[in-house]
A = this chain, B = another copy of it.
Amino acid sequence: MKRNKLNIYKIAEIAGVSKSTVSRVINDKAGVGDKTRKKVLEIIKDLNYQPNSFARGLANNKTKTIGLVVSDITDPFFSGFIKGVEAKAMEDNYNIMLANSHWVVEEELKCVKMFQEGRVDGVLIISGARDGLDVYLNDLSAKNTPVLLIDRKTDNGSIPKINVDNFSGAYMGVKYLLDLGHKKVACIKGDDVASSGASVDRVLGYKKALNDFGINNEIIVPGYFEVEDAYKATHNLLEEQKDITAIFYLSDMMAIGGLKAIRERGLKVPDDISVLGCDDIELASLINPPLTTLRQPRYEMGYKGMGALISILEETNKRINHKDISFNMELVIRESTKKVNIVD
Protein backbone atom coordinates (compact mmCIF):
# COMPACT_ATOMS: atom_id res chain seq x y z
CA MET A 1 0.00 0.00 0.00
CA LYS A 2 0.87 3.64 0.04
CA ARG A 3 2.66 4.29 -3.24
CA ASN A 4 6.20 3.21 -3.56
CA LYS A 5 7.84 5.45 -1.08
CA LEU A 6 9.97 4.05 1.62
CA ASN A 7 7.98 4.43 4.77
CA ILE A 8 6.91 2.43 7.70
CA TYR A 9 4.13 0.82 5.70
CA LYS A 10 6.51 -0.37 3.09
CA ILE A 11 8.74 -1.94 5.69
CA ALA A 12 5.73 -3.51 7.38
CA GLU A 13 4.49 -4.90 4.09
CA ILE A 14 7.80 -6.45 3.19
CA ALA A 15 8.30 -7.88 6.64
CA GLY A 16 4.75 -9.16 6.65
CA VAL A 17 3.94 -7.44 9.90
CA SER A 18 1.96 -4.36 10.88
CA LYS A 19 3.25 -0.80 11.04
CA SER A 20 2.83 -0.93 14.80
CA THR A 21 5.33 -3.70 15.05
CA VAL A 22 7.77 -1.84 12.87
CA SER A 23 7.30 1.21 15.01
CA ARG A 24 8.07 -0.81 18.09
CA VAL A 25 11.22 -2.11 16.51
CA ILE A 26 12.33 1.36 15.43
CA ASN A 27 11.83 2.71 18.89
CA ASP A 28 13.37 -0.27 20.51
CA LYS A 29 10.32 -1.01 22.54
CA ALA A 30 9.27 -4.22 24.21
CA GLY A 31 6.50 -6.36 22.86
CA VAL A 32 8.11 -7.79 19.76
CA GLY A 33 9.28 -11.35 19.36
CA ASP A 34 12.95 -11.90 18.73
CA LYS A 35 12.58 -13.37 15.27
CA THR A 36 10.20 -10.64 14.21
CA ARG A 37 12.43 -7.92 15.53
CA LYS A 38 15.43 -9.35 13.80
CA LYS A 39 13.64 -9.70 10.50
CA VAL A 40 12.36 -6.14 10.59
CA LEU A 41 15.74 -4.80 11.59
CA GLU A 42 17.29 -6.59 8.68
CA ILE A 43 14.88 -5.15 6.18
CA ILE A 44 15.35 -1.68 7.59
CA LYS A 45 19.03 -2.04 7.16
CA ASP A 46 18.84 -3.53 3.69
CA LEU A 47 16.63 -0.77 2.44
CA ASN A 48 18.53 1.88 4.32
CA TYR A 49 15.30 3.14 5.70
CA GLN A 50 15.27 6.35 7.74
CA PRO A 51 12.11 7.16 9.64
CA ASN A 52 10.71 10.53 8.75
CA SER A 53 11.44 12.84 11.60
CA PHE A 54 8.60 15.16 10.78
CA ALA A 55 6.03 12.51 11.17
CA ARG A 56 7.74 11.52 14.36
CA GLY A 57 7.88 15.05 15.58
CA LEU A 58 4.27 15.54 14.74
CA ALA A 59 3.22 12.39 16.48
CA ASN A 60 5.11 12.72 19.69
CA ASN A 61 6.07 16.33 19.82
CA LYS A 62 9.78 15.67 20.16
CA THR A 63 12.41 16.69 17.72
CA LYS A 64 15.79 15.69 19.02
CA THR A 65 17.12 19.03 17.99
CA ILE A 66 18.06 22.06 19.98
CA GLY A 67 18.45 25.63 18.91
CA LEU A 68 21.75 27.33 19.50
CA VAL A 69 21.90 31.10 19.58
CA VAL A 70 25.29 32.68 19.35
CA SER A 71 26.23 36.33 19.09
CA ASP A 72 28.85 36.02 16.43
CA ILE A 73 29.96 32.74 15.06
CA THR A 74 32.99 34.37 13.59
CA ASP A 75 34.36 35.33 16.95
CA PRO A 76 36.88 32.72 18.04
CA PHE A 77 35.64 33.18 21.54
CA PHE A 78 32.39 31.48 20.65
CA SER A 79 33.57 28.67 18.54
CA GLY A 80 35.09 26.98 21.56
CA PHE A 81 31.72 26.77 23.24
CA ILE A 82 30.07 25.62 20.08
CA LYS A 83 32.52 22.83 19.63
CA GLY A 84 31.69 21.52 23.07
CA VAL A 85 27.98 21.82 22.46
CA GLU A 86 28.34 20.09 19.16
CA ALA A 87 30.35 17.22 20.57
CA LYS A 88 27.77 16.46 23.22
CA ALA A 89 24.95 16.79 20.73
CA MET A 90 26.56 14.32 18.37
CA GLU A 91 27.13 11.94 21.23
CA ASP A 92 23.47 11.89 22.16
CA ASN A 93 22.16 12.12 18.63
CA TYR A 94 20.81 15.59 18.83
CA ASN A 95 20.73 18.01 15.96
CA ILE A 96 21.79 21.59 16.33
CA MET A 97 20.00 24.44 14.72
CA LEU A 98 22.29 27.42 14.53
CA ALA A 99 21.53 31.11 14.58
CA ASN A 100 23.53 34.26 14.87
CA SER A 101 22.14 37.13 16.88
CA HIS A 102 24.78 39.72 16.03
CA TRP A 103 24.71 40.92 19.60
CA VAL A 104 21.28 42.52 19.45
CA VAL A 105 18.24 41.49 21.40
CA GLU A 106 15.81 41.87 18.54
CA GLU A 107 17.76 39.45 16.42
CA GLU A 108 18.04 37.12 19.36
CA LEU A 109 14.30 37.15 19.61
CA LYS A 110 13.98 36.53 15.91
CA CYS A 111 16.25 33.53 16.16
CA VAL A 112 14.29 32.13 19.03
CA LYS A 113 11.02 32.62 17.20
CA MET A 114 12.43 30.84 14.23
CA PHE A 115 13.42 28.01 16.47
CA GLN A 116 10.02 27.73 18.00
CA GLU A 117 8.46 27.55 14.62
CA GLY A 118 11.11 25.03 13.73
CA ARG A 119 10.10 23.19 16.84
CA VAL A 120 13.24 22.59 18.72
CA ASP A 121 13.05 20.77 22.00
CA GLY A 122 15.05 23.42 23.76
CA VAL A 123 17.24 26.42 23.26
CA LEU A 124 20.81 27.10 24.26
CA ILE A 125 21.91 30.68 24.33
CA ILE A 126 25.55 31.59 24.57
CA SER A 127 26.35 35.05 25.83
CA GLY A 128 24.30 37.38 23.78
CA ALA A 129 22.90 40.80 23.47
CA ARG A 130 24.86 43.87 24.29
CA ASP A 131 21.79 45.84 25.04
CA GLY A 132 19.96 44.46 28.00
CA LEU A 133 16.27 43.78 28.15
CA ASP A 134 15.90 40.10 27.67
CA VAL A 135 12.50 39.84 29.22
CA TYR A 136 11.54 37.59 26.37
CA LEU A 137 13.49 34.91 28.15
CA ASN A 138 10.77 34.77 30.73
CA ASP A 139 8.10 34.19 28.11
CA LEU A 140 10.22 31.55 26.56
CA SER A 141 10.79 29.52 29.64
CA ALA A 142 7.19 30.02 30.67
CA LYS A 143 6.10 28.64 27.32
CA ASN A 144 7.86 25.47 28.34
CA THR A 145 10.57 25.61 25.78
CA PRO A 146 13.45 24.76 28.07
CA VAL A 147 16.23 27.31 27.84
CA LEU A 148 19.75 27.14 29.13
CA LEU A 149 22.11 30.05 29.29
CA ILE A 150 25.85 29.86 28.93
CA ASP A 151 27.97 32.81 29.92
CA ARG A 152 25.00 35.00 30.56
CA LYS A 153 23.02 36.38 33.42
CA THR A 154 19.34 36.96 33.97
CA ASP A 155 17.14 37.83 36.80
CA ASN A 156 14.99 34.86 36.08
CA GLY A 157 16.25 32.38 38.62
CA SER A 158 14.38 29.47 37.10
CA ILE A 159 16.47 29.45 33.95
CA PRO A 160 19.50 27.22 34.37
CA LYS A 161 22.84 28.83 33.68
CA ILE A 162 26.42 27.88 33.16
CA ASN A 163 28.95 30.52 33.98
CA VAL A 164 32.54 31.06 34.80
CA ASP A 165 33.62 32.76 37.97
CA ASN A 166 34.68 36.02 36.40
CA PHE A 167 35.25 37.78 39.65
CA SER A 168 37.68 35.28 41.10
CA GLY A 169 39.37 34.80 37.77
CA ALA A 170 40.06 38.47 37.33
CA TYR A 171 41.17 38.73 40.90
CA MET A 172 43.66 35.94 40.40
CA GLY A 173 44.99 37.50 37.23
CA VAL A 174 45.46 40.94 38.65
CA LYS A 175 46.94 39.56 41.83
CA TYR A 176 49.48 37.77 39.69
CA LEU A 177 50.37 41.07 38.03
CA LEU A 178 50.69 42.80 41.37
CA ASP A 179 52.78 39.97 42.75
CA LEU A 180 55.08 40.61 39.82
CA GLY A 181 55.66 44.02 41.28
CA HIS A 182 53.46 46.12 39.03
CA LYS A 183 52.05 49.15 40.74
CA LYS A 184 50.21 50.84 37.96
CA VAL A 185 47.91 48.36 36.31
CA ALA A 186 45.27 49.52 33.87
CA CYS A 187 42.16 47.62 32.97
CA ILE A 188 40.57 47.74 29.53
CA LYS A 189 37.09 46.63 30.31
CA GLY A 190 34.45 45.31 27.97
CA ASP A 191 30.90 46.34 27.85
CA ASP A 192 29.04 46.92 31.07
CA VAL A 193 25.63 46.31 29.66
CA ALA A 194 26.66 43.05 28.01
CA SER A 195 24.29 40.36 29.11
CA SER A 196 27.01 38.08 30.37
CA GLY A 197 27.97 40.49 33.09
CA ALA A 198 31.52 39.35 32.46
CA SER A 199 32.93 42.83 32.20
CA VAL A 200 31.33 44.04 35.39
CA ASP A 201 32.42 41.06 37.42
CA ARG A 202 35.95 41.11 36.12
CA VAL A 203 36.27 44.77 36.87
CA LEU A 204 35.14 43.98 40.38
CA GLY A 205 37.86 41.37 40.65
CA TYR A 206 40.38 43.88 39.40
CA LYS A 207 39.30 46.42 41.97
CA LYS A 208 39.38 43.94 44.80
CA ALA A 209 42.91 42.88 43.93
CA LEU A 210 44.17 46.46 43.81
CA ASN A 211 42.42 47.12 47.04
CA ASP A 212 43.93 44.09 48.74
CA PHE A 213 47.35 45.37 47.73
CA GLY A 214 46.61 48.79 49.06
CA ILE A 215 46.63 50.39 45.65
CA ASN A 216 43.91 52.91 45.03
CA ASN A 217 44.90 53.97 41.59
CA GLU A 218 42.22 52.35 39.49
CA ILE A 219 42.55 52.96 35.77
CA ILE A 220 39.56 51.57 33.95
CA VAL A 221 38.86 52.29 30.32
CA PRO A 222 36.18 50.76 28.10
CA GLY A 223 37.18 48.63 25.12
CA TYR A 224 33.71 47.23 24.42
CA PHE A 225 35.10 43.77 23.73
CA GLU A 226 36.17 45.01 20.31
CA VAL A 227 39.65 44.79 18.84
CA GLU A 228 39.41 48.22 17.33
CA ASP A 229 38.12 49.95 20.43
CA ALA A 230 40.76 48.34 22.58
CA TYR A 231 43.38 49.42 20.09
CA LYS A 232 42.32 53.05 20.32
CA ALA A 233 41.82 52.92 24.05
CA THR A 234 45.35 51.64 24.48
CA HIS A 235 46.79 54.42 22.38
CA ASN A 236 44.95 57.04 24.38
CA LEU A 237 45.80 55.46 27.65
CA LEU A 238 49.51 55.24 26.98
CA GLU A 239 49.55 58.72 25.60
CA GLU A 240 48.16 60.09 28.81
CA GLN A 241 49.80 57.90 31.38
CA LYS A 242 53.32 56.98 30.45
CA ASP A 243 54.06 55.13 33.65
CA ILE A 244 51.63 52.27 33.25
CA THR A 245 53.53 48.98 33.45
CA ALA A 246 50.77 46.47 32.99
CA ILE A 247 47.43 46.27 31.25
CA PHE A 248 44.69 43.77 31.92
CA TYR A 249 42.46 43.31 28.90
CA LEU A 250 39.13 41.73 29.63
CA SER A 251 39.34 39.66 26.46
CA ASP A 252 42.13 38.21 24.36
CA MET A 253 40.81 39.85 21.24
CA MET A 254 41.08 43.21 22.94
CA ALA A 255 44.57 42.30 24.08
CA ILE A 256 45.50 41.62 20.48
CA GLY A 257 44.28 45.06 19.54
CA GLY A 258 46.18 46.51 22.46
CA LEU A 259 49.36 44.70 21.51
CA LYS A 260 49.22 46.37 18.15
CA ALA A 261 48.90 49.81 19.70
CA ILE A 262 51.71 49.13 22.16
CA ARG A 263 53.93 48.01 19.32
CA GLU A 264 53.13 51.11 17.35
CA ARG A 265 54.20 53.26 20.24
CA GLY A 266 57.58 51.62 20.20
CA LEU A 267 57.02 49.83 23.48
CA LYS A 268 58.01 46.22 24.04
CA VAL A 269 55.91 43.52 25.61
CA PRO A 270 56.72 42.30 28.20
CA ASP A 271 59.85 44.37 28.74
CA ASP A 272 58.20 47.76 28.92
CA ILE A 273 54.73 46.67 29.61
CA SER A 274 53.04 43.47 30.69
CA VAL A 275 49.83 42.36 29.06
CA LEU A 276 47.28 40.04 30.56
CA GLY A 277 44.42 38.79 28.44
CA CYS A 278 41.29 36.87 29.20
CA ASP A 279 39.57 33.83 27.65
CA ASP A 280 42.53 31.94 26.21
CA ILE A 281 41.35 31.70 22.67
CA GLU A 282 43.36 29.43 20.40
CA LEU A 283 45.29 32.36 19.10
CA ALA A 284 46.56 33.51 22.43
CA SER A 285 49.41 31.06 22.29
CA LEU A 286 50.26 31.75 18.67
CA ILE A 287 50.75 35.46 18.60
CA ASN A 288 53.89 37.33 19.40
CA PRO A 289 54.46 37.36 22.27
CA PRO A 290 52.33 34.44 23.39
CA LEU A 291 49.72 35.88 25.64
CA THR A 292 49.44 35.32 29.36
CA THR A 293 45.74 34.98 29.92
CA LEU A 294 42.90 33.68 32.02
CA ARG A 295 41.58 30.54 30.52
CA GLN A 296 37.86 30.09 30.32
CA PRO A 297 36.99 26.42 29.79
CA ARG A 298 34.70 27.02 26.89
CA TYR A 299 34.65 23.57 25.40
CA GLU A 300 33.81 22.09 28.77
CA MET A 301 31.19 24.71 29.39
CA GLY A 302 29.55 24.02 26.06
CA TYR A 303 29.69 20.29 26.60
CA LYS A 304 28.29 20.48 30.10
CA GLY A 305 25.67 22.96 29.01
CA MET A 306 24.41 20.77 26.25
CA GLY A 307 24.43 17.84 28.64
CA ALA A 308 22.40 19.73 31.19
CA LEU A 309 19.90 20.82 28.58
CA ILE A 310 19.50 17.30 27.30
CA SER A 311 18.92 15.99 30.76
CA ILE A 312 16.25 18.60 31.28
CA LEU A 313 14.62 17.65 28.01
CA GLU A 314 14.65 13.99 28.67
CA GLU A 315 13.59 13.77 32.22
CA THR A 316 9.97 13.16 32.78
CA ASN A 317 9.65 15.38 35.76
CA LYS A 318 10.65 18.75 34.41
CA ARG A 319 10.14 20.24 37.80
CA ILE A 320 13.44 19.05 39.10
CA ASN A 321 15.52 21.99 40.03
CA HIS A 322 18.66 22.30 38.03
CA LYS A 323 21.48 23.92 39.84
CA ASP A 324 23.49 26.46 37.97
CA ILE A 325 27.01 25.37 37.23
CA SER A 326 30.03 27.55 37.75
CA PHE A 327 33.47 26.95 36.30
CA ASN A 328 36.74 28.42 37.44
CA MET A 329 39.16 30.34 35.34
CA GLU A 330 42.72 29.26 35.12
CA LEU A 331 45.75 31.48 34.85
CA VAL A 332 47.84 30.52 31.84
CA ILE A 333 51.24 32.14 32.07
CA ARG A 334 53.00 32.72 28.79
CA GLU A 335 55.33 35.42 27.63
CA SER A 336 53.44 38.67 27.66
CA THR A 337 53.98 39.29 31.35
CA LYS A 338 57.09 39.60 33.49
CA LYS A 339 58.41 41.18 36.64
CA VAL A 340 58.26 44.90 36.58
CA ASN A 341 61.50 46.72 35.73
CA ILE A 342 63.06 48.27 38.73
CA VAL A 343 63.40 51.81 37.46
CA ASP A 344 63.36 54.82 39.74
Contacts and interface: CB of A to CB of B under 8 A. Distances in A.
B79 A98 contact: no
Interface string A62-83: 0111001000011110011011
Interface stretch (A89-97, A165-173, A211-219): A89-97
B282 A263 contact: no
Nearest to A283: B283
Interface string A254-294: 00110110010000000000000000001100111000000
A135 interface: no
Contacts of A76: 74, 76, 79
Given A98-B98, A282-B74, A286-B227, A118 B86 contact: no
Interface in A20-35: none
Given A79-B73, A117-B51, A97 B65 contact: yes
A328 interface: no
A86 B98 contact: yes
A343 interface: no
Contacts of A114: 93, 95
Interface stretch (A38-46, A52-60, A146-154, A182-190): A52-60
A327 to B, nearest CB: 19
A141 interface: no
Main secondary structure of the interface of A (DSSP, over half): helix
B95 A256 contact: no
Nearest to A257: B286
A113 B57 CA distance: 17
Nearest to A115: B95
A116 B50 contact: yes
Contacts of A110: 90
Contact of A118 (B79, B95, B113, B283): B95
Nearest to A57: B54
Interface in A174-227: 227
Contacts of A260: 286, 288
Interface of A: 50-55, 57-58, 63-65, 68, 73-76, 79-80, 82-83, 86-87, 90, 93, 95-100, 110, 113-119, 227, 256-257, 259-260, 263, 282-283, 286-288
23 contacts: A50-B117, A52-B119, A54-B57, A55-B58, A65-B118, A68-B98, A73-B73, A73-B79, A73-B86, A74-B76, A74-B79, A75-B79, A79-B79, A83-B100, A86-B99, A90-B99, A90-B110, A96-B97, A96-B98, A227-B286, A256-B283, A257-B286, A260-B286
